C-alpha cells in the first residue's frame, strides 16, 4: 500500500511539472517607457529589448517609418480649460485623434468626452485612478480598465475600447499580458516632451519647436491637453506638417494596416 501511495504521489508531481496548464509567473518588473528621441526625420528608437517585448504582446510606440503618417494622441487626466480649443482645431483641420482618459476626467468633463466621440475621435483607456499598474493586483487592474470602459460607453455610446496607455508610462510584461488578455493594445509614443507642468508654460513656440524637432514618419505623438502651449501651437503644427507632406491618421488606421491578432479593435 505504501509503495502504491508513493507511486501516486510521484506521478502527481510529474504531472504538475509537465502539464502545459502550469505556467511560470509572468515577470512584473516595472519598466519606465523610454527611447532615443527622433531627430532630423530619423525615427525614435526604443531599443531591441523593448521592441521585442512590445511585439510579443502586440503593443506599439510608432507606425511605419517609411510613411509620412502621424498618429496624434492626448492624455487627459483632468480638464484645464484647453480641450475644446484643441477639438476646435482638430475639427477645422479634419484631423483624427485618440484621447486617453482617466476616471476623474470622465466624471468631471463629460461634455468634452461626448464631443470627442461625436466628432469622430477615439477615447482610450488611461485607467480610472491612474495607479502604477505594476503595483496593483490583477483584479485591481481589471477594475481600473472596466470602470473607464463602462463609463465611457454610458456617456458616449462608444461600444469598444481597445487602446490602453499605462499611467506614467510604467508597465511590465505582466501588465502587457493582462491588457492583451482583456482585449487591449498598449499604445506608447515616439514623440513627447515636458508639457504637463501647468505652472511652467513657456509659450506656443516651445511646444511647436519640440514637436517639429522630433517629428518623424510614423510618429505617435503624446501631448497633454492641460497645456496651453500645446493648444496654442496645435493649428500651426498641423498646417506646417501637412505642407511638409505628412498626413494624420487614427490608431484604427494604424492597426488596420498591421497583422495583429486583436478581435476587439475599436469600431465606430
- At 25, the pLDDT band (50, 70, 90 cuts) reads confident
Is the model more confident about 152 or about 258? 152
Which residue has cell 505623438?
221
pTM: 0.88
CATH number at residue 203: 3.20.20.370
What pLDDT score was predicted for residue 257? 76
* Residue 155, in any domain of the structure: yes
- Could you give the CA distance from residue 190 to residue 187 in angstroms, rounded to a whole number? 10
CA dihedral 134, 136, 142, 148 (to 10 degrees): -90
Mean pLDDT throughout 240-266? 77
* Residue 151, in any domain of the structure: yes
* Residue 130, in any domain of the structure: yes
pLDDT per position as a tens digit, 228-251: 999 999 999 999 999 999 999 999
- At 68, the pLDDT band (50, 70, 90 cuts) reads very high
* Residue 198, in any domain of the structure: yes
* Residue 185, in any domain of the structure: yes
Domain count, the chain: 1
* Residue 205, in any domain of the structure: yes
- Examine the pLDDT at 15 and tell me if it is beyond 50: no
CA dihedral 171, 197, 74, 172 (to 10 degrees): 0
* Residue 2, in any domain of the structure: no
Cell of residue 199, nine digits: 505652472
What pLDDT score was predicted for residue 21? 35
- Could you give the CA distance from residue 225 to residue 79 in angstroms, rounded to a whole number? 8
Buried b vs exposed e over 92-129: b needs ≥16 C-beta within 10 Å?
eeebbbbbbbbbbbbeebeebbbbbbeeebbbbbbbbe
* Residue 13, in any domain of the structure: no
- Could you give the CA distance from residue 56 to residue 216 in angstroms, rounded to a whole number? 24
Catalytic residues: 75, 224
- Examine the pLDDT at 7 and tell me if it is beyond 90: no
User: Taken in order 202, 204, 207, 209, is the CA torsion positive or negative?
Assistant: negative
160, 196 Cβ separation under 8 angstroms: no
Range of the domain at 171: 30-256
Mean pLDDT throughout 62-72? 97
- How confident is the prediction for the chain on average, in pLDDT? 90
Mean pLDDT throughout 16-35? 70
Amino acid at each position: 500500500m505504501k509503495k502504491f501511495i508513493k507511486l501516486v504521489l510521484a506521478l502527481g508531481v510529474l504531472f504538475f511539472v509537465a502539464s502545459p496548464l502550469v505556467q511560470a509567473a509572468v515577470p512584473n518588473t516595472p519598466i519606465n517607457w523610454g527611447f532615443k528621441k527622433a531627430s532630423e526625420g530619423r525615427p525614435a528608437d526604443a531599443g531591441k529589448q523593448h521592441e521585442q517585448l512590445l511585439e510579443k504582446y502586440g503593443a506599439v510606440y510608432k507606425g511605419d517609418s517609411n510613411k509620412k503618417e502621424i498618429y496624434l494622441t492626448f492624455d487627459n487626466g483632468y480638464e484645464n480649460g484647453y480641450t475644446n480649443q484643441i477639438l476646435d482645431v482638430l475639427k477645422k483641420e479634419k484631423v483624427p485623434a485618440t484621447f486617453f482618459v482617466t476616471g476623474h476626467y470622465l466624471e468631471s468633463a463629460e461634455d468634452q468626452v461626448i464631443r470627442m466621440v461625436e466628432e469622430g475621435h477615439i477615447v482610450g483607456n488611461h485607467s480610472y485612478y491612474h495607479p502604477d499598474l505594476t503595483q496593483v493586483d490583477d483584479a485591481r487592474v481589471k477594475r481600473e480598465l472596466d470602470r473607464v470602459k463602462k463609463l465611457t460607453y454610458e456617456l458616449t455610446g462608444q461600444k469598444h475600447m481597445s487602446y490602453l496607455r499605462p499611467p506614467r508610462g510604467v508597465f511590465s510584461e505582466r501588465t502587457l499580458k493582462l491588457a492583451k488578455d482583456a482585449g487591449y493594445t498598449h499604445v506608447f509614443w515616439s514623440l513627447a516632451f515636458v508639457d504637463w507642468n501647468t505652472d511652467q508654460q513657456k509659450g506656443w513656440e516651445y511646444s511647436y519647436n519640440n514637436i517639429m524637432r522630433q517629428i518623424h514618419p510614423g510618429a505617435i505623438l503624446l501631448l497633454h491637453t492641460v497645456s496651453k502651449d500645446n493648444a496654442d501651437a496645435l493649428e500651426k503644427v498641423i498646417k506646417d506638417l501637412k505642407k511638409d507632406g505628412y498626413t494624420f491618421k487614427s490608431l484604427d488606421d494604424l492597426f488596420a494596416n498591421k497583422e495583429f491578432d486583436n478581435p476587439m479593435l475599436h469600431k465606430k
